[in-house]
Structure 1
Amino acid sequence: MTLGMAWVRNLGSIRELVVASDSRLSGGKFWDSNPKIMLLPRSDAVLSFAGDTHDAYPLMLQVYNAILMHGPALDRSMDLAHLKGHLVRVINKARSSVTNLPRGERGPVIADATFMLSGYSWRQKRFRVWTLHYHKGAEEFTFRPTQPWRGQSGHTKEIAFVGDERVVKAAKSVLVDRLRAKGKLTDGGLDMEPLEVLRDLLRSQDYTEIGGAPQVVKIYEHMNVHPFPVHWPDASGGLTVLGRPLMPYETFDSEAIDPDAL
């Protein structure tokens, strides 16, 4: 149960990739302080997920370790596009060891998880986002690149979504309304409108699929990743980072995000 987004933010001549998510895990209970965006050992990308944590968390840890133990993947000489292929192979190989299914069940074991790899490609000199999803026909994970927003007359918008269908559909609808109200639906880049949408859906409490504080990570063209603390539920609230409330003695080396002023 998730709403995750990754979009290219335009600030004049400067561009940055923003990745955001809610913080709720569920399964007989709600647990609203869980990381859904994983910082990878290399500094130019992050991996986020939606779906069943029983599938997602072991695979995310295998991805982390695979990067850590392979020199070209760790030092970034392997470009993000090539890393994506390596990680898909790691995920599929890890899943091939699933055995001892419950009596009466036959394979293949369908994975109920979707991943989003977001980062900066030094070969292509631009931000890239791929959705890594399970293809039932192929019986394995494959990838889908993010496409530019359709119907643009000027600046292009780039945004990807992962999560529960009902919430993703609502987020897209609210985002369209928000952009139309600002006169930016067919022209102009994205700023922090997607985060406004995530904030408002969380506050509405109309969607039990999502909860907790927004998680926000930025990726820069200088190939560095930075998670941002967020005041939640408003500017007077405590600080959270990647869904976790900070302890009173913890400090952070960046300004915190006010969820209303953004």
Structure 2
Amino acid sequence: MTITISWINHNIDTKELILISDSRLRSYGAMDQCQKIFPLERGDCCLGFCGDAQIAYPLSVQASSALNNFIKTRTRSFDVLEIKDFLCKILNNLISSWDLKKSEKLTELKETNIFFGGWSWKKSDFIIGYFKYDDSGFVYHKRKTNLPHPFRDQNKSFLFLGDYQGDYEIEIKKILSASFTNSHEKKHISLKYEPLIALNNILSRARNCTDFPLIGGELQMVKIYQYGNTLPYVFRKSQGEHYLFGRKMFDWEKTERPIFHIQNDEVKFSYPLSIIPDVKSYTDDFFQKIPQSEAEES
């Protein structure tokens, strides 16, 4: 099982679709460094999942592979609205190979949701939704999740999928109440990083108790921008602990991706590429400081 959350964040003069998740998969025990968000090669949309990993994970992997394999779905020749329809066919084709009775599939897939969201160049807007299995097969739903009273997402974009929704609503209400203190009866708000902070707090609690066995590991986050690019972020837990798609990075790894960390319920960002000096700093002295092996690579 899992928690997968998405929403739209207004960042200065642009909008971005944010998708986050925990990193635990359960089978014979729990594995806490598992990727649950899958950017597609086309770059303007993502898949995610929650539910029984034995079926939800292979569905996500095979659906990604199928879309990446066809040139029109890989290169944005088809809009994400058309990708949504392709996905529906792919998922239903895959599930048709499962040798269970229809009633058994309904039972097994009851808690399975496949998230799909991205930037539509036809609508000039984000689409956010998920595939859910019913009597007719996988069907795409655009329904969103209400924020806890009295808060309303003015972008109508917040979507929560997965476990412990009640606990999560209590946590995010605390954070929203601290951030938005005006006395309006119905607080129409534009979400920033409050959903991310709430999930981080729930995961922190999960490490210190046995109340949340279905979720765990570290945060993973992907952003999709209006210009149609997808960008995974690295989560910095502490010094020497950095995670990409839930996997702890090795000491020898390098990354150009933005890094975020959360401190005192505040999200902060670092950008490794900003450390690279501009060309006027490329003096002889600068090159003498570069290890020879790296100089040869460049």
TM-score under structure 2 normalisation? Answer: 0.78
Aligned-partner SS, 1:258: strand
Greater per-residue helix proportion = 2
Letter in 2 for 1:93: N
Aligned-partner SS, 1:197: helix
Asked if residue 82 in structure 1 is aligned to residue 82 in structure 2, the reply is yes
Structure showing greater Rg: 2
1:231-250 to 2 correspondence within 5 Å?
231-232=236-237, 235-250=238-253
Query: Partner residue of 2:221?
Result: 216
Conserved in 2, the CA contact under 8 Å of 1:213 and 1:240? yes
Q: 1:194: how far off?
A: 0.3
Aligned-partner SS, 2:189: coil
The range that moved more, 14-23 or 173-182, is 173-182
Conserved in 1, the CA contact under 8 Å of 2:153 and 2:191? no
- The Cα offsets for residues 23-58 of structure 1, whole Å up to 9 and x where unpaired, read as 011123111000000121210011000011111122
Q: 1:188 to 1:171 in 2, by over 3 A?
A: same
The range that moved more, 25-34 or 239-248, is 25-34
* Structure ranking higher on relative contact order (CA contacts 8 Å, 6+ apart): 1
Q: 1:40 to 1:195 in 2, by over 3 A?
A: same
Q: 1:36 to 1:92 in 2, by over 3 A?
A: same
Q: 1:149 to 1:11 in 2, by over 3 A?
A: farther
Conserved in 1, the CA contact under 8 Å of 2:119 and 2:228? yes
2: CA distance between counterparts of 1:106 and 1:65?
26
Query: Partner residue of 2:286?
Result: none
1: CA distance between counterparts of 2:68 and 2:123?
23
Letter in 2 for 1:10: H
Conserved in 2, the CA contact under 8 Å of 1:146 and 1:158? no
Q: 1:69 to 1:154 in 2, by over 3 A?
A: closer
Query: Partner residue of 1:69?
Result: 69
Q: 1:255: how far off?
A: 3.1
2: CA distance between counterparts of 1:252 and 1:219?
19
2: CA distance between counterparts of 1:57 and 1:252?
26
1:128-139 to 2 correspondence within 5 Å?
128-135=127-134, 137-138=135-136
Query: Partner residue of 1:51?
Result: 51
Q: 1:149 to 1:12 in 2, by over 3 A?
A: farther
Conserved in 2, the CA contact under 8 Å of 1:157 and 1:190? no
2: CA distance between counterparts of 1:258 and 1:107?
45
TM-score under structure 1 normalisation? Answer: 0.88
Query: Partner residue of 1:109?
Result: 105
Conserved in 2, the CA contact under 8 Å of 1:5 and 1:159? yes
2: CA distance between counterparts of 1:5 and 1:124?
23
2: CA distance between counterparts of 1:197 and 1:38?
22
Aligned-partner SS, 2:259: coil
Q: 1:12: how far off?
A: 3.1
Q: 1:93 to 1:243 in 2, by over 3 A?
A: same
Match of 1:227 among 229, 232, 247: 232
- The Cα offsets for residues 198-241 of structure 1, whole Å up to 9 and x where unpaired, read as 00000011412110000011111111111111012xx3350100
The range that moved more, 80-89 or 190-199, is 80-89
What is the percent sequence identity of the aligned residues?
27
Q: 1:45 to 1:32 in 2, by over 3 A?
A: same
